[in-house]
Amino acid sequence: MRIVCIGGGPAGLYFGLLMKKRHPAHAVTVVERNRPYDTFGWGVVFSDATMVAMREWDPETATAIEQAFNHWDDIEVLIKGRRMRTSGHGFVGIGRKTLLNILQRRCEDLGVELRFEHEVDSDLEFPDADLIVAADGVNSRIRQRYEDVFRPDMLVRPNRYIWLGTKKRFDAFTFDFRKTEHGWFQAHIYKFDDTTSTFIVETTEETFQAHGLDKADLPGSIAFCETVFAEVLEGAPLLSNARHLRGSAWLNFNRLVCGAWSHFNGRSHVVLMGDAAHTAHFAIGSGTKLAVDDAIELTRQFERFGHGADRIPEVLAAYEEVRRVDVARIQNAARNAMEWFEVVGTRYADRLEPEQFMYSMLTRSQRISHENLRLRDPAWLEGYERWFADRLTPARAPEGTTGSGRPPPPMLTPFRLRELTLANRVVVSPMAMYSAVDGVPGDFHLVHLGSRALGGAGLVFGEMTCVSADARITPGCLGLWNEAQAAGWRRIVDFVHANSDAKVAIQLGHAGRKGATRRGWEGIDQPLDEGEAWPLISASALPYLPNSRVPRAMDRADMDRVVEEFRRATALAATTGADLLELHAAHGYLLSSFLSPLTNRRTDEWGGSHENRARFPLEVFRAIRAVWPADKPISVRLSCHDWAEGGNTPDDAVVFARLFQQVGADIIDCSSGQVVKDDAPVYGRLYQTPFSDRIRNELGIPTIAVGAISEADHANSIIAAGRGDLCAIARPHLADPAWTLHEAARIGVTDIPWPKQYRSGKTQYETNLARAAATEGR
């Protein structure tokens, strides 16, 4: 084949040499606009996994790169006069120029033609090429030529950064955070050869403008950064090699995703590679890794299907299918890290103490978890756990331990709201059971909730408890509008309090337009037959499903009645001895229908602005707060993202959370979705945790994190980083009532008490876990 790689970066050079090595008959040309052995930029970071792959595919290149590597294990964080360090992280860095020079020499050794100082405007310059690799960077001219095919989605991120270097050597990957009179700056610093370190300075657009850096030339910007980071630089100057840039040396990161990666131009197949196809923020250092992995995978597919030109369509299809998955995973982690740095000043640096700030930074991408940190640096993590336990929960045990000298993991530390103290941070989510008769909680609910309380959770929620008969979702839903229902709840609360350390929460709600449906196993959201149903009310006369009953838009009389129903239910809840009350304003139920513009089309004082849409839910909250005991907390559950065009977003959720905070809400339960049936959530591990993180750290109100939290590792990571104060666990608690006890045992915490009736099973359970771990390690 005739192969032309446009762009002499890592992707084009490495793919060219791999293909020439595997099939010397190929005619391979790499075309580069710069001069021979000339490049720009400072250092790049590699991962161990990438080096393993490079050793497999071309040991000669891998050896040359490894000989030029600089390796370090430590991360150091400087903030608020503190210097903190952790080890075991295993980075390797190399100068970009050194890396490209190694690849260029290897290409020459293998017979790859290198054509320098050649600016390529079009793939049509190479009509004889069978395959054209567009590796010409994020501003790829080839991709731009076929935008309708490649469908690039380019998002310009808000932060500004400048890529500098310094001759001071740093022995750790260093993050330095400095506050000026106009805001925060952060530096990402790492060495890449014996004499030089990369020094990336980043800040928000607002801070950048306030300091006049938009008007500063390159020397002025360098002088400014030297002043801000004078302490860490210790007199070393900052350097730039940005002469190739047009305009300011301060850049905005461009996040790129493409709808397609290949195209046949009538003569040649064109494929995107590296930054031309995708970008990953420098906060996790994966740009070079992605480029190299692209080159390896495309070569692998030629090995699989054959090196003939007739196999190119199959090769390119398989290449894109495989790479999309890994690239999406890396881009997701990079996005998390990028967004963390974009809000680091106001959300974290100003609010968190240095110890927790460092933990938050280390876990910013969500690829590194609590137990992963324990593998990397167990001494540092144990010290952090001890700090967390001693500072936030000194009453846990003497010296903040579990009794054996080991500090408790974050999820097993107590938490206080008003006069309520929870034994730990694990919450059994409200989960619909559809098993009540006339709204009365019966034996099923006693066993269901009681068993989960015995299973070690700190707080046990019943399912949404409806404030009137026509507020129910289904005929099997719990209610709290009469004394019989209150008596049923009292029986559950008394059992939990008498037999466990758990506390009980009652969630009050009104189904609104989602009411009068069948039980979940009979057809979820499907309307009851005529004669079984009841009239529905909502913010606007919009059915939930096309075949759902149409609700009546509420008038003032309806509102007065519903407010009184919530007040009456709250008064009954207070008689049960329940410890916490939650107001359900999420998931498209009645109060949620007022908050979302998708379900609230009113033009009166209850529609339109955030304040108007929240007016009725806030009125309900004030009514229940007035009758709920003053020493007991009230939570509000919000849908923090409608996941549908035109609906509420996390920005709106912050507004609503603030409004509830102002009228006395103690904690926000951060869920999302289910407001409209055609929503499209982006699911994934801990996918709703960012909502909790934002509300907690922007508003300074405690939060409950919800959604796809399934292990102790997840809960510990969330709580330790300050992304939430409690973790609500739903489906795992359906599968395992003793989830908390079992997860504690699984991570080696043996001092957590089990119910006295079950203690004989505790040792055997822990022994079985130890045996399984030993067998797995063989």
CB atoms within 10 A of CB 530: 7
What tens digit of pLDDT does each residue of 586-607 get?
999 999 999 999 999 999 999 9
Q: How confident is the model at residue 334 (pLDDT cuts 50, 70, 90)?
A: confident
Question: Is the pTM value of this prediction over 0.85?
Answer: yes
- Residue 113 burial by CB count (10 A; 0-12/13-18/19+): exposed, middle or buried? middle
- 409-420 pLDDT, tens digit each: 999 999 999 999
Q: Where are the beta strands (DSSP E) in 73-151?
A: 75-79, 82-86, 91-95, 113-115, 131-134
Taking alpha carbons only, the member of 697, 718, 735, 769 closest to residue 413 is 718
pLDDT at 776: 74
* Position 381 pLDDT exceeds 80: yes
Burial profile 313-327: b = 16 or more Cβ within 10 angstroms, e = fewer: eebbebbbeebeeeb
Intra-chain end-to-end CA distance of the chain, in Å: 48
pLDDT for residue 404: 54
Tokens describing residue 97: 């120029």
Flag whether pLDDT at 636 surpasses 90: yes
Q: What is the mean pLDDT of the chain?
A: 93
Segment 249-261 shows an average pLDDT of: 94
The 10s digit of each residue's pLDDT in 638-670 is 999 999 999 999 999 999 999 999 999 999 999
pLDDT of residue 775: 82
The reported pLDDT for the residue numbered 397 is 41
pLDDT of amino acid 392? 64
**Rounded distance, CA 424 to CA 426, Å?**
6
* Model pLDDT, residue 777: 65
Q: What mean pLDDT comes out for the span 746-751? A: 92
Task: Return the number of other C-beta atoms located less than 10 Å from residue 687's C-beta.
Answer: 18
Output helix, strand, coil percentages for the chain, rounded to the nearest 5.
Answer: 45, 20, 40
> What span, in angstroms and rounded, lies between the C-alpha atoms of 162 and 216?
12
Question: CA-CA distance, 296 to 15, in Å (whole number)?
Answer: 7
**Which position among 14, 434, 544, 589 bears the catalytic label?**
589
Q: What is the pLDDT of residue 96?
A: 87
Q: 256: buried, middle or exposed (CB in 10 Å: 19+, 13-18, 0-12)?
A: buried
Indicate the pLDDT class of residue 38, thresholds 50, 70 and 90.
low
Three-state secondary structure of 144-183: HHCHHHHCEEEEEEEEEEEEEEECCCCCCEEEEEEEECCE
Percentage of the residues of the chain whose pLDDT score is greater than 70:
97
Q: Is 589 a catalytic residue?
A: yes
Question: At residue 200, does pLDDT exceed 90?
Answer: yes
From CA 232, how far away is CA 79, in angstroms rounded? 11
Kindly compute the dihedral angle of the four CA atoms of residues 520, 522, 526, 532, in this order, to the nearest 10 degrees. Answer: -110
Judged by DSSP in three states, 268 sits in coil
Look up residue 224 and give its amino acid.
F
Report DSSP state, residue 517. Answer: B
From the list 137, 26, 112, the residue with the least C-alpha distance to 61 is 112
Q: Which two tokens stand for residue 415?
A: 């938490």
- pLDDT one-digit tens code per residue, 110-125: 999 999 999 999 999 9
Mean pLDDT of 730-736: 96
Q: Is the pLDDT higher at 533 or at 684?
A: 533
Question: What pLDDT band is residue 729 in, cutting at 50, 70 and 90?
Answer: very high
Question: Following CA atoms 610, 613, 614, 617 in sequence, which dihedral angle do they give, to the nearest 10 degrees?
Answer: -170
Q: Give 137-149 pLDDT, tens digit per residue.
A: 999 999 999 999 9
Tell me the per-residue pLDDT of 473-496, one tens digit each, with 9 for 90 and over: 999 999 999 999 999 999 999 999
Half-sphere exposure of 95 (CA within 13 A, CB side): 20
pLDDT tens figures, 262-319: 999 999 999 999 999 999 888 877 889 999 999 999 999 999 999 999 999 999 999 9
Contact 278, 258 (CB under 8 A): yes
